[in-house]
Amino acid sequence: QSVLTQPPSVSEAPRQRVTISCSGSSSNIGNNAVNWYQQLPGKAPKLLIYYDDLLPSGISDRFSGSKSGTSASLAISGLQSEDEANYYCATWDDSLNAWVFGGGTILTVL
Amino acid sequence: EVQLVESGGGLVKPGGSLRLSCAASGFTFSRYSMNWVRQAPGKGLEWVSSISISSNSIYYADSVKGRFTISRDNARNSLYLQMNSLRAEDTAVYYCAREDSSLAGTRYLDLWGRGNLVTVSS
């Protein structure tokens, strides 16, 4: 059972838009910035979004993040087959003194 | 090239020990906190441990507390994870990850190694 809650899977057609939710609590998302990671099969996680909605250099602007209260979302527009991956939200938890991750969401581009 | 490279993994029997290393290059290692994150086969990411720049702040996940020890050598640009009393449930790919907190009000794991597999089995 992960501290942050994500849907196990989402799917959408190419060129469409999909959102992935991440729910937490006041000790984690409610008090700290949220980061998102993309993990392709057999690869290490890659930072996709940091500080709730900032894109690292080299990340496509088709990806965007948002946060409200104790929940955050990742949106991917103009879906492409290469976006098929596992996506994780993460943040620091002040009560646990630990990094906490969502359980991951598998994105399928139909 | 900016990178992290893990080593030291392998097959170990339950109750055994293993020491993972993470070699950093291409950046000033001593300016960053570092972390270990693991991923069991077919499962999600699980944070294991964090160590601050000067090693004065160290945190562990409850699942490894008392069994694992994180350390670093800034002169050697290296991070370590000493794993004792290993269990089958410790089987995972172990990643080292750099933590960037240079932007006020946030922190994030921005650089990850490729990972190193640890298998605990008799």
> Which chain B residues touch A106 with a CB distance below 8 Å?
none
Q: Between chains, do B50 and A37 touch, taking CB under 8 Å as contact?
A: no
Q: For B41, which DSSP code?
A: T
> Please, which residues 35-74 of chain A have a Cβ atom closer than 8 Å to chain B?
35, 37, 39, 43-47, 50-51, 56
| Separation CA B5–CA B32 (nearest Å) | 16
Predicted confidence pLDDT, tens digits, chain A (110 residues): 899 999 999 999 999 999 999 999 999 999 999 999 999 999 999 999 999 999 999 999 999 999 999 999 999 999 999 999 999 999 999 999 999 999 999 999 99
Residue of A99, A100, A101, A106 to mutate for B, most B C-beta atoms under 10 A:
A99
pLDDT tens per residue, range B53-95: 999 999 999 999 999 999 999 999 999 999 999 999 999 999 9
Decide if pLDDT at B106 tops 90.
no
Reference A32, options A60, A74, A4, A12; nearest CA is A4
Residue A40 token pair: 């392709």
B94 contact partners, CB below 8 Å, separation of at least 6: B6, B9, B20, B36, B37, B38, B48, B81, B115, B116, B117, B118
DSSP state of A10: E
Contact A90 B45 (CB under 8 A): yes
In tens, the pLDDT along B21-56 reads 999 999 999 999 999 999 999 999 999 999 999 999
Nearest to residue B120, comparing CAs of B13, B36, B3, B8?
Answer: B13
